[in-house]
Amino acid sequence: DQQVKQNSPSLSVQEGRISILNCDYTNSMFDYFLWYKKYPAEGPTFLISISSIKDKNEDGRFTVFLNKSAKHLSLHIVPSQPGDSAVYFCAANTGGGADGLTFGKGTHLIIQP
Amino acid sequence: GAGVSQSPSNKVTEKGKDVELRCDPISGHTALYWYRQRLGQGLEFLIYFQGNSAPDKSGLPSDRFSAERTGESVSTLTIQRTQQEDSAVYLCASSLVGLAGGTQYFGPGTRLTVL
């Protein structure tokens, strides 16, 4: 039973355009959400997070939106750059962020020149 | 370096052997986590340490898996009598619990192959 779902295994976006990665969750106890980026043969790198008390958090080109009623979050990357090509994982946890993370299976983002 | 380090980076072992994986967290980080990632899957939570106690072992898949942590430093994950289904990348993360969100920072992982 997957509690965090990323339904798009891959996404192709043209350089300079907006990339939108989606994530759905089922556990209403989740109160902290994160996005990680992963290159091959490396560990995941933290990108951006959002607490359940907010609906938006922005950091440079990256914005995360949280819709609690729909149990949905999304990561927007604007503008997309070639270095953004990687696998993006959505993750969530409870306990104010202290617990182990529950991850989605990831979306492979490909930025085309 | 200032990041989380793990050793070895790669480990190939025969079915039935024991393996030990090591994690050095970021200095000062009180919380330490182990995850594994099987091929084509997301990361799967295994165990969490706060200091050197383990309040959450819920993710350990069987009693062949165990982990220890020395003080608020190094941790070792031990897999006894390895099976082929144990083949995965084992990732360690650490965080400063108490800060907003306790963002977890990951090491590069140990790729374990059980033949």
Nearest CA of chain A to the CA of B97: how many Å?
6
Q: How many CB pairs under 8 A join A and B?
A: 72
CA distances from A18 to A75, A76, A88, B15, B62 (A): 10, 7, 15, 47, 43
Q: Which residues of B touch A (CB under 8 A)?
A: 4, 31, 33, 35, 40-48, 50, 56, 58-59, 91, 93, 95, 97, 100-109
Q: At B65, is the secondary structure helix, strand, or coil?
A: strand
Q: Say which residue the tokens 């995850």 belong to.
A: B35
List per-residue pLDDT tens for chain A, 113 residues long. Answer: 789 999 999 999 999 999 999 999 999 999 889 999 999 888 999 999 999 999 999 999 999 999 999 999 999 999 999 999 999 999 998 865 567 889 999 999 999 99
Q: Which amino acid type is present at position A103? A: F
Query: Are A46 and B103 a contacting pair at CB < 8 A?
Result: yes
8 Å CB contact of A42 and B108:
yes
At a CB cut-off of 8 Å and minimum separation 6, what does B10 contact? B110, B111, B113
Q: In terms of CA atoms, which chain B residue is nearest residue A52?
A: B101
Distance CA A58, CA A68 (A): 17
Token pair 């970021």 is found at: B26
Q: Which residue of B has its CA nearest to A31?
A: B101
Task: Yes or no: say if B91 and B107 are a contact pair by the CB < 8 Å rule.
Answer: yes
Is the Cβ–Cβ distance between B35 and B77 less than 8 Å?
no
d(CA A9, CA B8): 30
